């Protein structure tokens, strides 16, 4: 499959496990949260469907409250215990029902849930754009290795700024100033 630049019409934002207890264990937890909030705000402004997962919320808590307020109103949240999000049948069914093929993927931990989900998405025929500056692992080596494995599996390396400007395509986009303000 030829890789394409992101388009709002064909994209889904998938946010994996941005929960306070997991973020607290990340060396760059605050940066991951900040960048994920930018993606969520952009998704809201550009009408991009958004999916959030929560790994074992009974023990790890729910999605960060400051992120929740940035999410699009129709965001779907799925609890899970599996590392690969597609092993959650309701999530996989919902994702497939959207009929979109580009996944903007971010979250924690890079080498576990993000990696396993990215690989499964690619195997299902999705084009996965991994937002490296909105992903993290407790250990720097594991984070780098997780990214390397995902690239070898066929993900498209990206960042918050790359993704946002791909979605806009032009400074003449009606939401350009609002999106640009997210990264200033």
* Per-position DSSP letters for 106-150, written without gaps between them: EEE-IIIIIHHHHHHHHHTT-EEEEEEEEEE-SSHHHHHHHHHHH
Quick one: pLDDT at residue 184?
A: 79
Give the residue numbers annotated as catalytic, written as ranges. Answer: 17, 80, 113
| Fold classification of 8-183 (topology level) | Rossmann fold (3.40.50)
Alpha helix positions (H), the chain: 20-24, 29-46, 57-60, 65-68, 89-98, 115-123, 140-153, 160-168, 176-183
Conformation bin of residue 16: beta by default, left when phi > 0, alpha when psi is -120 to 50: beta
- Over the stretch 72-106, which tens digit does the pLDDT of each residue have? 999 999 999 999 999 999 999 999 999 999 999 99
The residue ranges of every structural domain in the chain are 8-183
- Over the stretch 50-79, which tens digit does the pLDDT of each residue have? 999 999 999 899 999 999 999 999 999 999
Q: Mean of the pLDDT values across residues 6-26? A: 95
What's this model's pTM, rounded to 2 decimal places?
A: 0.97
Quick one: pLDDT at residue 4?
A: 84
Q: Is the dihedral of CA 164, 167, 170, 172 positive or negative?
A: negative
142 by Cβ neighbours in 10 Å (0-12 / 13-18 / 19+) ranks as middle
Quick one: pLDDT at residue 1?
A: 53
């Amino acid at each position: 499959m030829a890789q394409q630049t992101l388009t709002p019409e064909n994209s889904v934002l998938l946010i994996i496990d941005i929960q306070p207890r997991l973020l607290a264990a990340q060396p760059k937890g605050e940066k991951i949260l900040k960048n994920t909030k930018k993606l969520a705000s952009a998704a809201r402004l550009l009408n991009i469907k958004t999916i959030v997962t929560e790994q074992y919320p009974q023990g790890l808590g729910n999605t960060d409250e400051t992120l929740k307020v940035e999410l699009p109103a129709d965001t779907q949240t799925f609890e899970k215990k599996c590392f690969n999000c597609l092993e959650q049948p309701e999530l996989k069914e919902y994702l497939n029902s959207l009929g979109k093929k580009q996944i903007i993927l971010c979250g924690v931990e890079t080498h576990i849930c993000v990696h396993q989900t990215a690989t499964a998405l690619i195997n299902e025929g999705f084009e996965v754009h991994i937002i490296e500056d909105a992903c993290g692992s407790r250990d720097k080596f594991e984070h780098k290795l997780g990214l390397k494995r995902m690239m070898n599996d066929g993900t498209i390396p990206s960042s918050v700024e790359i993704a946002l400007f791909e979605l806009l395509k032009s400074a003449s986009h009606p939401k350009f100033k609002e999106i640009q303000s997210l990264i200033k």
